[in-house]
Amino acid sequence: MPPSSDIATQPVEVLPDYLSRTYSWAYLDPRTVPWLDRSPVVSAILWGNAARLMRWAVAQFVPGETVLQAACVYGGFSPMLARRVGEQGRLTVLDVAPIQVDNVRRKLVGLPQAEARVADLTQRQDACFDAACCFFLLHEVPARERRLIVANLLAAVRPGGRVVFVDYHRASAWHPLRPLMGLVFRWLEPFAQSLLDTPIESLAEAASDFEWRKQTCFGGLYQLVVATRRQVSE
Protein backbone atom coordinates (compact mmCIF):
# COMPACT_ATOMS: atom_id res chain seq x y z
CA MET A 1 0.00 0.00 0.00
CA PRO A 2 1.47 3.42 -0.91
CA PRO A 3 2.07 5.65 2.16
CA SER A 4 -0.28 8.26 0.83
CA SER A 5 -3.88 9.37 1.12
CA ASP A 6 -4.04 9.72 -2.68
CA ILE A 7 -6.70 7.24 -3.44
CA ALA A 8 -7.48 5.44 -6.68
CA THR A 9 -11.09 4.39 -6.17
CA GLN A 10 -12.57 1.53 -8.14
CA PRO A 11 -15.68 2.37 -10.19
CA VAL A 12 -18.93 1.37 -8.51
CA GLU A 13 -21.24 -0.20 -11.07
CA VAL A 14 -24.13 -1.23 -8.87
CA LEU A 15 -25.30 -0.09 -5.48
CA PRO A 16 -25.21 -2.72 -2.75
CA ASP A 17 -28.45 -4.67 -2.61
CA TYR A 18 -28.95 -3.97 1.12
CA LEU A 19 -28.76 -0.22 0.46
CA SER A 20 -31.25 -0.16 -2.42
CA ARG A 21 -33.70 -2.47 -0.69
CA THR A 22 -33.63 -0.98 2.80
CA TYR A 23 -32.48 2.60 2.66
CA SER A 24 -33.59 4.04 -0.70
CA TRP A 25 -35.98 6.38 1.07
CA ALA A 26 -33.21 7.70 3.33
CA TYR A 27 -30.18 7.98 1.07
CA LEU A 28 -31.05 7.45 -2.60
CA ASP A 29 -34.25 9.41 -3.22
CA PRO A 30 -33.62 12.98 -4.49
CA ARG A 31 -36.97 14.05 -3.00
CA THR A 32 -36.09 13.06 0.60
CA VAL A 33 -32.33 13.75 0.77
CA PRO A 34 -32.70 17.57 1.08
CA TRP A 35 -35.27 17.13 3.87
CA LEU A 36 -33.26 14.64 5.86
CA ASP A 37 -29.97 16.50 5.48
CA ARG A 38 -30.80 19.12 8.09
CA SER A 39 -29.21 19.50 11.49
CA PRO A 40 -32.56 19.55 13.42
CA VAL A 41 -33.55 16.25 11.76
CA VAL A 42 -30.19 14.64 12.60
CA SER A 43 -30.45 15.98 16.14
CA ALA A 44 -33.97 14.55 16.57
CA ILE A 45 -32.93 11.12 15.22
CA LEU A 46 -30.12 11.01 17.78
CA TRP A 47 -32.31 12.24 20.64
CA GLY A 48 -30.49 15.56 20.94
CA ASN A 49 -27.06 13.89 21.06
CA ALA A 50 -25.88 14.61 17.49
CA ALA A 51 -23.83 17.69 18.30
CA ARG A 52 -21.98 16.10 21.20
CA LEU A 53 -21.34 12.82 19.36
CA MET A 54 -20.01 14.76 16.37
CA ARG A 55 -17.84 16.96 18.62
CA TRP A 56 -16.46 13.86 20.35
CA ALA A 57 -15.62 12.19 17.03
CA VAL A 58 -14.05 15.30 15.52
CA ALA A 59 -11.91 15.84 18.63
CA GLN A 60 -10.16 12.49 17.97
CA PHE A 61 -8.41 14.00 14.94
CA VAL A 62 -5.49 16.37 14.84
CA PRO A 63 -4.94 19.39 12.57
CA GLY A 64 -2.74 18.43 9.62
CA GLU A 65 -3.86 14.79 9.51
CA THR A 66 -5.09 12.88 6.48
CA VAL A 67 -8.50 11.46 7.42
CA LEU A 68 -10.79 9.03 5.64
CA GLN A 69 -14.50 9.56 6.38
CA ALA A 70 -16.33 6.30 5.78
CA ALA A 71 -19.65 7.28 4.14
CA CYS A 72 -21.52 10.55 4.08
CA VAL A 73 -23.32 11.79 7.18
CA TYR A 74 -26.28 14.16 7.22
CA GLY A 75 -25.83 17.54 8.88
CA GLY A 76 -22.60 19.45 9.36
CA PHE A 77 -20.29 16.56 10.20
CA SER A 78 -18.04 16.59 7.11
CA PRO A 79 -17.43 20.37 7.18
CA MET A 80 -16.61 20.03 10.91
CA LEU A 81 -14.07 17.29 10.16
CA ALA A 82 -12.61 19.28 7.26
CA ARG A 83 -12.16 22.35 9.48
CA ARG A 84 -10.56 20.17 12.15
CA VAL A 85 -7.86 18.78 9.83
CA GLY A 86 -7.41 22.29 8.43
CA GLU A 87 -5.70 23.39 5.25
CA GLN A 88 -2.55 21.45 6.15
CA GLY A 89 -4.58 18.26 6.39
CA ARG A 90 -6.81 16.30 4.01
CA LEU A 91 -10.31 14.88 4.37
CA THR A 92 -11.43 12.18 1.93
CA VAL A 93 -15.12 11.23 2.10
CA LEU A 94 -16.02 7.96 0.38
CA ASP A 95 -19.60 6.86 -0.22
CA VAL A 96 -21.08 4.27 -2.54
CA ALA A 97 -24.06 6.43 -3.57
CA PRO A 98 -23.38 9.13 -6.21
CA ILE A 99 -26.31 11.23 -4.93
CA GLN A 100 -24.70 11.32 -1.48
CA VAL A 101 -21.31 12.27 -2.91
CA ASP A 102 -22.89 15.14 -4.88
CA ASN A 103 -24.72 16.23 -1.73
CA VAL A 104 -21.64 16.30 0.50
CA ARG A 105 -19.58 18.08 -2.16
CA ARG A 106 -22.11 20.93 -1.94
CA LYS A 107 -21.47 21.14 1.83
CA LEU A 108 -17.68 21.10 1.34
CA VAL A 109 -17.53 24.08 -1.03
CA GLY A 110 -14.90 26.52 0.28
CA LEU A 111 -12.97 23.78 2.08
CA PRO A 112 -10.22 22.87 -0.44
CA GLN A 113 -8.70 20.35 1.98
CA ALA A 114 -11.76 18.10 1.50
CA GLU A 115 -12.81 15.86 -1.36
CA ALA A 116 -15.60 13.32 -1.84
CA ARG A 117 -15.57 10.28 -4.10
CA VAL A 118 -17.81 7.38 -5.00
CA ALA A 119 -16.39 4.15 -3.58
CA ASP A 120 -17.64 0.97 -1.97
CA LEU A 121 -16.09 0.57 1.47
CA THR A 122 -16.49 -3.20 1.33
CA GLN A 123 -13.63 -3.04 -1.21
CA ARG A 124 -10.05 -2.58 0.00
CA GLN A 125 -8.90 1.04 -0.47
CA ASP A 126 -5.51 1.47 -2.06
CA ALA A 127 -4.31 4.28 0.21
CA CYS A 128 -2.95 4.96 3.67
CA PHE A 129 -4.35 7.60 6.05
CA ASP A 130 -3.39 8.95 9.46
CA ALA A 131 -6.89 8.16 10.66
CA ALA A 132 -10.39 7.11 9.63
CA CYS A 133 -13.84 7.95 10.95
CA CYS A 134 -16.89 5.71 10.75
CA PHE A 135 -19.93 7.60 12.05
CA PHE A 136 -23.17 5.55 12.28
CA LEU A 137 -22.41 3.38 9.26
CA LEU A 138 -21.90 -0.06 10.82
CA HIS A 139 -25.48 -0.49 12.08
CA GLU A 140 -26.78 0.12 8.56
CA VAL A 141 -24.95 -2.72 6.86
CA PRO A 142 -25.44 -6.51 7.11
CA ALA A 143 -23.00 -8.51 9.22
CA ARG A 144 -20.89 -9.74 6.29
CA GLU A 145 -20.40 -6.28 4.79
CA ARG A 146 -19.80 -4.87 8.30
CA ARG A 147 -16.82 -7.17 8.79
CA LEU A 148 -15.40 -6.19 5.40
CA ILE A 149 -15.80 -2.47 6.15
CA VAL A 150 -14.13 -2.76 9.57
CA ALA A 151 -11.24 -4.76 8.08
CA ASN A 152 -10.78 -2.28 5.25
CA LEU A 153 -10.81 0.75 7.56
CA LEU A 154 -8.26 -0.84 9.89
CA ALA A 155 -6.08 -1.68 6.87
CA ALA A 156 -6.25 1.94 5.69
CA VAL A 157 -4.41 3.53 8.64
CA ARG A 158 -0.67 3.79 9.26
CA PRO A 159 1.10 2.53 12.42
CA GLY A 160 0.10 4.88 15.24
CA GLY A 161 -3.01 5.86 13.26
CA ARG A 162 -6.57 5.59 14.54
CA VAL A 163 -9.95 4.37 13.40
CA VAL A 164 -12.81 6.07 15.23
CA PHE A 165 -16.23 4.39 15.33
CA VAL A 166 -19.38 6.03 16.65
CA ASP A 167 -22.53 3.95 16.50
CA TYR A 168 -25.50 2.43 18.30
CA HIS A 169 -24.99 0.07 21.23
CA ARG A 170 -27.34 -1.95 23.46
CA ALA A 171 -28.96 0.57 25.83
CA SER A 172 -29.10 -0.25 29.55
CA ALA A 173 -32.07 -2.32 30.70
CA TRP A 174 -33.53 0.71 32.51
CA HIS A 175 -33.24 3.07 29.55
CA PRO A 176 -36.68 4.64 28.95
CA LEU A 177 -36.07 4.69 25.17
CA ARG A 178 -35.05 1.04 24.95
CA PRO A 179 -38.50 -0.30 23.95
CA LEU A 180 -38.99 2.47 21.37
CA MET A 181 -35.51 1.97 19.92
CA GLY A 182 -36.28 -1.75 19.69
CA LEU A 183 -39.25 -0.91 17.44
CA VAL A 184 -37.22 1.60 15.39
CA PHE A 185 -34.52 -1.01 14.80
CA ARG A 186 -37.08 -3.66 13.89
CA TRP A 187 -38.98 -1.48 11.40
CA LEU A 188 -36.34 0.81 9.93
CA GLU A 189 -32.88 -0.53 10.76
CA PRO A 190 -32.98 -4.31 10.23
CA PHE A 191 -29.20 -4.78 10.51
CA ALA A 192 -28.75 -2.78 13.70
CA GLN A 193 -29.66 -5.52 16.20
CA SER A 194 -26.70 -7.63 15.13
CA LEU A 195 -24.33 -4.78 16.04
CA LEU A 196 -25.72 -3.90 19.46
CA ASP A 197 -24.16 -6.76 21.45
CA THR A 198 -21.17 -7.36 19.19
CA PRO A 199 -17.93 -5.64 20.18
CA ILE A 200 -16.57 -3.92 17.07
CA GLU A 201 -13.18 -5.33 18.06
CA SER A 202 -14.52 -8.85 17.57
CA LEU A 203 -15.32 -8.11 13.92
CA ALA A 204 -11.70 -7.71 12.87
CA GLU A 205 -9.14 -10.43 12.28
CA ALA A 206 -6.44 -7.77 12.65
CA ALA A 207 -7.83 -6.63 16.04
CA SER A 208 -4.68 -7.59 17.95
CA ASP A 209 -2.65 -5.15 15.84
CA PHE A 210 -4.67 -2.38 17.49
CA GLU A 211 -5.22 -1.00 20.96
CA TRP A 212 -8.98 -0.66 21.57
CA ARG A 213 -10.67 1.97 23.73
CA LYS A 214 -14.42 1.92 24.14
CA GLN A 215 -16.88 4.08 26.01
CA THR A 216 -20.64 4.37 25.90
CA CYS A 217 -22.92 7.32 26.52
CA PHE A 218 -26.59 8.28 26.85
CA GLY A 219 -27.45 5.22 28.95
CA GLY A 220 -25.45 2.89 26.74
CA LEU A 221 -27.40 3.70 23.56
CA TYR A 222 -24.29 4.98 21.78
CA GLN A 223 -20.74 3.62 21.66
CA LEU A 224 -17.55 5.52 20.97
CA VAL A 225 -14.65 3.27 20.00
CA VAL A 226 -11.09 4.18 19.05
CA ALA A 227 -8.75 1.57 17.56
CA THR A 228 -5.11 2.72 17.47
CA ARG A 229 -2.69 0.74 15.33
CA ARG A 230 0.32 -0.42 17.37
CA GLN A 231 3.69 0.82 16.26
CA VAL A 232 5.66 -2.01 14.64
CA SER A 233 8.33 -2.04 17.38
CA GLU A 234 5.78 -2.39 20.27
Least separation in angstroms between CB 177 and ligand SAM: 17
Cα–Cα–Cα angle for 145, 146, 152, rounded to 5 degrees: 90
In angstroms, what is the minimal distance from the CB of 234 to ligand SAM?
Answer: 31
Instruction: Measure the CA–CA gap between 171 and 155, rounded to whole angstroms.
Output: 30
- Tell me which H or E stretch contains 168: strand 157-168
2-41: contacts with ligand SAM (CB under 6 A): 16, 19, 27
* Selected binder of ligand SAM within 67, 121, 131, 192 (CB under 6 A): 121
Which DSSP helix (H) or strand (E) runs through 213?
strand 210-217
Binding piece for ligand SAM, criterion CB under 6 A, among 70-78, 150-158, 197-205, 225-233: 70-78
Q: Give the neighbor-by-neighbor strand order of the sheet with 66-70.
A: 114-118, 90-95, 66-70, 129-135, 157-168, 222-229, 210-217
Other Cβ atoms closer than 10 A to 147: 17
Work out which of 137, 150, 224, 225 binds ligand SAM, going by CB under 6 A. 137
Q: Please report how close the Cβ of residue 173 comes to ligand SAM at its closest, in angstroms.
A: 25
SS3 117: strand
Nearer Cβ to ligand SAM (86/217): 217
- Does residue number 156 form part of the binding site for ligand SAM (CB under 6 A)? no
Which one of 141, 163, 166, 203 is in contact with ligand SAM (CB under 6 A)? 141
Interface residue with ligand SAM, options 73, 108, 150, 171 (CB under 6 A): 73
Q: How far apart are CA 52 and CA 220, in angstroms?
A: 15
Nearer to ligand SAM, 3 or 40 (CB): 40
For residue 46, the minimal CB distance to ligand SAM (Å) is: 8
- For residue 123, the 8-state DSSP code is S
Q: Which stretch binds ligand SAM (CB under 6 A): 2-10, 132-140, 165-173, 221-229?
A: 132-140
Residue of the chain from 122, 193, 194, 198 that contacts ligand SAM (CB under 6 A): 122
- Using the rule CB under 6 A, is 115 a contact of ligand SAM? no
In angstroms, the CA 189 to CA 154 distance is 25
Total interface residues for ligand SAM by CB under 6 A = 21
Nearest in space to 200 (alpha carbons), one of 177, 169, 229, 176: 169
**Which one-letter amino acid corresponds to residue 209?**
D
Would you tell me the crossing angle of helices 50-58 and 77-85 to the nearest 10 degrees? Answer: 20
Residues interacting with ligand SAM, by CB under 6 A? 16, 19, 27, 42, 71-74, 94-97, 100, 120-122, 136-137, 140-141, 145
